[in-house]
Structure 1
């Protein structure tokens, strides 16, 4: 772009996130009730550093799991010794117990390629014809939010739709594409920066200056996500809409202003206060989870499926 005399504006936010992962083979005999595990980090800024890591275990093929540890502003382990040691110091002893019972298959993979960046091609007054940018070349995210490939795929859908009404070789096509792409990218971008901007060490154009808003984001984001994770287990409509948010089909603002979603969240909140949800009670992080498998609780409430329109709207 610079060779063409064009300067593309960049929005950036780097929360100094690091991730480390390792693949393990599970034993043949069951070692726990779980099929997927997430240990959220402690939200208090003065909590021990070892409790400020997010820990995730998720299954892959051939009875294997990927164990991942992530941190915001803290060093993520980059070697086997530090990975294994820190895994036993995190908020939940269950994370370390699973690794102890499993066989490591790989070394530790570490990455710091986690900066959020949005290059605003849509703000170019005259984008060059015969060329469009998609994927990470336009918008790259902290990978914990798992929306990079979705954003690239949706960009492909934008191209397909526009080709039916605008000649892709015309000078008008890039500007039309970038405008529609920006409208779609605003959805995952808002999700990513709303979380990562809540840290004092975050850097970039999208950092937050007010201390109060930072503290609110830091303290409430993970508990709010936990509440949603519980609510969608018992309300299929809230579940469907939340999946649309994660798959860039619906904005977070639309989700939080949808009357049916708000009613579902409110009903679940009331049931939770009255202990009528059937969900297992919270267990302190230092204790192992119960042996009961609660998978059957998913989708207790049955509703009509949410219609998904063919257009990107």
Structure 2
């Protein structure tokens, strides 16, 4: 995804773009080797969808036409936060786009590859950078048959993801001192796809979030409506309470969450796949923008810069925002120092997402890499109070979703007006359970009527 969005960002400013891809690319919206996280739920935050549409005009409409869902926030969401059930406000301030990762990849790939300036080398790996500490002039590649070659380029964009070897290659060029951070809550993800028992058009996102203040391992889960009248379901658990790939244990695990709503819904749904498990969910970041020297001709983007715990649904959106920042710099300030300016611009959306993800994960007792200090605990208590206020205050809910949608920085949560809102507290009483609309409730009652044993 980051590589395709990078191609979209630069294609209007160069003669040609060549994408180096380690695997074959599927012809349709099918699973792609090298994207293990595709088996888990994905969505585009508001800012990510807008950035993608700016890079590839019409791409969101193409996604929706292919079956993706545009979910209003929080109008189309049934979410149990650590502080209570979020109210489904009639006025939506943001939206998310939900679809399978395979469909999103395909729509973006088709949009990018129709440009004749863009080509791709499949079954080829980048094995090194060309140049020196001052300028990167291309890459060294290795083909499937083991032969190697050099590919010269005016600009190299590393979008290789979590496995990128750019830190080692930079060190070999004499660029040293790279700082990095690693914060791992230890969460394991287990996911599968179901045939939905109800029409999915207009169906809400369902989520039960983990509460790090409770004893025992954190557990959470979510149901996203995706294309093909299907539900994509992911369950997450920390050490001591991790889900497994046992299909018979999937729904019972869902019943151990803080509320059984996901399990109650799944008992009516038909599983279409087995259970896929991922244990590599750590937050990891490289601070390229802090290096004292940075070579011209190299930009690092997407998960190669920072990878996040997937539960926060930030990766695709941060990659899109970074690619958009690169495109804008190429259009307005393409002179000497472009790569360094781009790396700093790419770091800005990374900063926001990193603050959100790590700021939550460090409070789980299983987390390794960083522990909360007194300031972290004070901020967490304040955000918790604001989140509780958001269950009954539209103003507080909007302040939170502005940040969660990556449209406002986390610092906006401590503006005087937001502080006052948190001090006043919720203006409406909290909900005591999932807030389904009358139409949704009627559909669910119909399911129970057909299956009286589970009514």
The TM tier, using the shorter chain, reads 0.7 to 0.9
Q: Structure 2: 5+ residue runs without aligned partners?
A: 1-169, 441-455
TM-aligned CA deviation for residue 101 of structure 1:
0.9
Of 205, 214, 217 in structure 2, the residue corresponding to residue 36 of structure 1 is 205
Q: 1:133 to 1:24 in 2, by over 3 A?
A: same
Distance verdict in 2 for CA 1:78–1:153, change over 3 Å: same
Pairwise CA distance, 1:196 = 0.7
Aligned position for 1:248: 406
More strand by share: 2
Partners of 1:212 and 1:255 lie apart in 2 by 15
Report the counterpart of residue 16 of structure 2 in structure 1.
Answer: none
Query: How is 1:258-297 mapped onto 2 (pairs within 5 angstroms)?
Result: 259=417, 261-262=418-419, 269-272=425-428, 275=429, 281-283=431-433, 289=434, 293=438
SS in 1 for 2:174: coil
Runs of 4+ in structure 1 off by over 6 angstroms are 219-223
Partners in 2 of 1:221 and 1:20 — Cα distance?
28
Q: Deviations over 1:93-142 (max 9, x none)?
A: 33222111110001112112211111111122221111110001111111
Paired residue for 2:313, among 119, 143, 146? Answer: 146
Deviation at 1:41, TM superposition (A): 3.0
Provide the residue aligned with 1:302 in structure 2: none
Change (3 A) 1:132 1:258: farther
Counterpart mapping for 1:84-163 below 5 A: 84-163=251-330
Distance 1:77 1:221 in 2: 32
Aligned to 1:203: 368
Q: Partners in 1 of 2:266 and 2:362 — Cα distance?
A: 32
RMSD: 3.3
CA deviation map 1:169-216 (0-9, x unaligned): x3x112222222223321111111100111233222xx1254895598
What secondary structure is seen at the aligned counterpart in 1 of 2:316?
A: helix
TM-score (norm 2): 0.52
Structure 1 counterpart SS, 2:173: coil
CA contact (8 A) 2:194 2:271 kept: yes
Structure 1 length as normaliser, TM-score?
0.73
- Residues 238 and 96 of structure 1: CA distance in aligned 2, closer, same or farther (over 3 Å): closer
Residue equivalent to 2:48? none
User: Residues 89, 270 of structure 1: CA spacing in aligned structure 2 closer, same or farther, 3 A cutoff?
Assistant: closer
Question: Could you tell me how far apart the structure 1 residues matched to 2:313 and 2:263 are?
Answer: 24
Cα separation, 2, equivalents of 1:192 and 1:228: 19
Question: Distance between the aligned counterparts of 1:96 and 1:215, measured in 2?
Answer: 34
3-state SS, counterpart of residue 427 of structure 2: helix
Question: Within 2, Cα distance between the matches of 1:85 and 1:148?
Answer: 29
Unaligned 5+ runs, structure 1:
284-288, 296-313
Q: How many residues align?
A: 268
2:222–2:233 Cα contact (<8 Å) kept: yes
Is contact 1:18–1:111 with CA below 8 Å preserved after alignment?
yes
